[in-house]
Amino acid sequence: MEKHAKPSSEPFWWALFGAGGAVAALCIPVLLLLTGLAMPLGWVEAPSHAEALALVRHPLASLLLFAVISLSLFHWAHRFRFTLYDGLQLKHLEALIVVFTYGGALVGTLAAAVVLWPF
Amino acid sequence: MSHYPRYKKYRPKLYRARVPIFWWVHRWVHVRFILRELTSVFVAFYVVVLLLLARAVTQGPEAYAAFLAWLATPVALVLHAVALAMVLFHSVTWFNLAPKALVVHVGKKRLPGAFIAGANYAAWAAVSALLAWIILWA
């Protein structure tokens, strides 16, 4: 046994998990209700393309969108990693799972940056 | 966490009995725990949809119209209905846990948990109303 615990990156991932969980809990139900059900079912009218583009290109709105997407993905990465460990008893595949989860969140974050970059 | 146990082969000190994959199906609290953890999959699903929607918007009116048409297909509607139930479960469990994660003292008194949970629900309502207003009217 080591005398001193090795410095761990766990607090960093946990902080992203917590921030993402809070942002997702606050923002996602209303967004999902609007774009996933209310607009397609005609309960409310979807914004015109010009309105939607103005929203996506608005500096503050696009920054918010980027934060919601990226933090939510890191929330998923952390929580799903431990679901696989505990639920499916896959602790022995740790390296693979870490690459799949945090790597996936990183790829999604880069994709969001490319889409939302205002040029 | 001070010590993070890692599995190593051939170390009897760290032997653990094998646990079956479906250990959690026998008790409702365990099923609920796994369901809560799986809400994260639907959170990820929706932000990917949101990103694809934003991409379609940047690609032009045709791509945007095509994406809206996909959102209205039965498969997309069912996926979103299930996802909505799951993200609502995420929000409720998240806010109900908040008082346990967040201990606030005013003077020497600890703020009651119901107050902290209530503040979270109020913030949820305010953020939801603001986002709906921005998307639909601003």
B78 touches chain A (CB under 8 A): no
Residue type at position A41 = L
Task: Provide the pLDDT for residue B111.
Answer: 84
State how far the alpha carbon of B14 is from the alpha carbons of A92, A103, B5, B6, B95, in Å: 13, 29, 8, 9, 36
B18 touches chain A (CB under 8 A): yes
Task: Provide the pLDDT for residue A21.
Answer: 95
Q: Among A41, A115, A119, which would you mutate to test the B interface (most chain B Cβ atoms within 10 Å of its Cβ)?
A: A115
CA distance A99 to chain B (A): 16
CA distance A112 to chain B (A): 6
CB-based contacts of A27: which residues, under 8 Å, 6+ apart? A68, B127, B131
Task: Provide the pLDDT for residue A102.
Answer: 96
Task: Provide the pLDDT for residue A92.
Answer: 82
What Rg, from alpha-carbon coordinates, does chain A have?
Answer: 18
Model confidence pLDDT, tens digit, residues A63-90: 999 999 999 999 999 999 999 988 888 8
Q: Is A69 helix (H, G, I), strand (E, B) or coil?
A: helix
pLDDT: is A46 or A7 the higher one?
A46
Task: Provide the pLDDT for residue A118.
Answer: 67
Name residue B106's beta-bridge partners. Answer: B109
Provide the sign of the torsion angle of the four alpha carbons A40, A44, A48, A52, taken in this order.
negative
B61 touches chain A (CB under 8 A): yes
Cβ-based contacts of B50 with chain A (< 8 Å): 31, 35, 65, 68-69
CB-based contacts of B90: which residues, under 8 Å, 6+ apart? A21, A24, A25, A28, B36, B39, B40, B42, B43
Task: Provide the pLDDT for residue B12.
Answer: 60
Cβ-based contacts of A52 with chain B (< 8 Å): 57, 64
**DSSP-derived secondary structure for B57-124:** HHH-HHHHHHHHHHHTSHHHHHHHHHHHHHHHHHHHHHHHHHHHH---EETTEEPPHHHHHHHHHHHH
CB-based contacts of B22: which residues, under 8 Å, 6+ apart? none
Write phi, then psi, for B47 (nearest 5 degrees).
-70, -25
Model confidence pLDDT, tens digit, residues A50-65: 999 999 999 999 999 9
- Average pLDDT of chain A is 91
pTM of the model: 0.87
Rounded distance between C-alpha atoms, residue A80 and residue A84, angstroms? 6
ipTM for the complex? Answer: 0.91
State how far the alpha carbon of A91 is from the alpha carbons of A76, A94, A98, A108, B35, in Å: 17, 5, 10, 24, 19
Task: Provide the pLDDT for residue B1.
Answer: 47
Rounded distance between C-alpha atoms, residue A79 and residue B37, angstroms? 6
Cβ-based contacts of A31 with chain B (< 8 Å): 46, 50, 131, 135
DSSP state of B24: G
Tens digit of pLDDT at every position of chain B (138 positions)? 455 666 666 666 666 777 888 888 899 999 999 999 999 999 999 999 999 999 999 999 999 999 999 999 999 999 999 999 999 999 999 999 988 888 888 888 888 888 889 999 999 999 999 999 999 987
Task: Provide the pLDDT for residue A1.
Answer: 47
